Amino acid sequence: MQEKEITVAIIGIGLIGGSLALDLRYKYAVKRIIGVDKNPDHLIRAKQLGLIDEAATLKYAIEHSDLLVLATLAVNYCQKY
């Protein structure tokens, strides 16, 4: 039986999100990781290090991933009322 390759999106690709990306890539053989972060420098560095396959918006990540991981403070992505 062939296993489906899943796409994981990590929201917040700093220390925690980056560490998780490494584990997903090398321990669990996740083939595609999408990174989302408010800081573009984090995304550039994560791509250079091979932590993520692509940088994307939150909307794109939600629409194109099988698993969404929140590795940042939720308040960073919530609208304030």
% of the chain beyond a pLDDT of 70:
86
Q: Which residues make beta-bridge pairs with 35?
A: 10, 55
What pTM, to 2 d.p., does this model score? 0.85
**For all residues of the chain together, what is the average pLDDT?**
89
**What are the start-end ranges of the H helices in the chain?**
15-26, 40-48, 58-64
Give me the pLDDT at residue 81, please.
43
What whole-number distance in Å separates Cα of residue 50 and Cα of residue 21?
9
Task: Evaluate whether residue 70 is within a structural domain.
Answer: yes
Domain that holds residue 41: 7-76
Does any domain span residue 59?
yes
CATH number at residue 72: 3.40.50.720
Q: Determine phi and psi for 22, rounding to 5 degrees.
A: -60, -45
What's the CA gap between 74 and 52, in Å, rounded?
Answer: 21
Gap between the Cα atoms of 76 and 12, Å rounded: 9
Residue 31 lies in a domain: yes
Q: Tell me if 26 is assigned to some domain.
A: yes
Q: What is the mean pLDDT of residues 50-78?
A: 89
> How many domains would you assign to the chain?
1
pLDDT for residue 1 is more than 70: no
